[in-house]
Homo-oligomer: A and B are copies of this chain.
Amino acid sequence: MSVTDIVWRMTTTNSNPPLTPAVFHILLSLSSGERHGYGIMKQVEVDSQGKVNMGAGTLYGSLKRMLDAGLVKESDKRVDPEMDDERRIYYRITGVGKKALAAELERYRHIVGVAKKLRLFPETFAYDV
């Protein structure tokens, strides 16, 4: 099932199948502001504590699919004319993108809850709440 299929299903059947990790991380990185490709890569690295290193192929391939699916849009934002890096294309998350991200985050939170019930995390102390 492609990303486009997932969004189609989301908007028509109200069911939310999981996003791919790449798509998820791109959406997460864009939820703290508009970013260009390279900026997304760096932010994903930060958000994941360096654990996810997204290759250029994954990034630009995913962005293309996400544009088709309406999860992100190209922003009108352009850089200050002085520092003219005109190649930069900024992306921003759309309403559909926010909805998809929220559903996926809920899935993450639920799984963490399941894992806690199974005592798969080392015990936390009272002051650790």
Contact = CB atoms under 8 A, between A and B. Distances in A.
A109 B49 CA distance: 12
A106 to B, nearest CB: 8
Interface stretch (A14-22, A68-76, A84-92): A14-22
A52 interface: yes
- The copy count of this chain in the complex is 2
A16 B51 contact: yes
Nearest to A101: B120
Contact of A51 (B18, B28, B51, B101): B18
A102 interface: yes
Contacts of A28: 111, 114-115
A129 B111 CA distance: 17
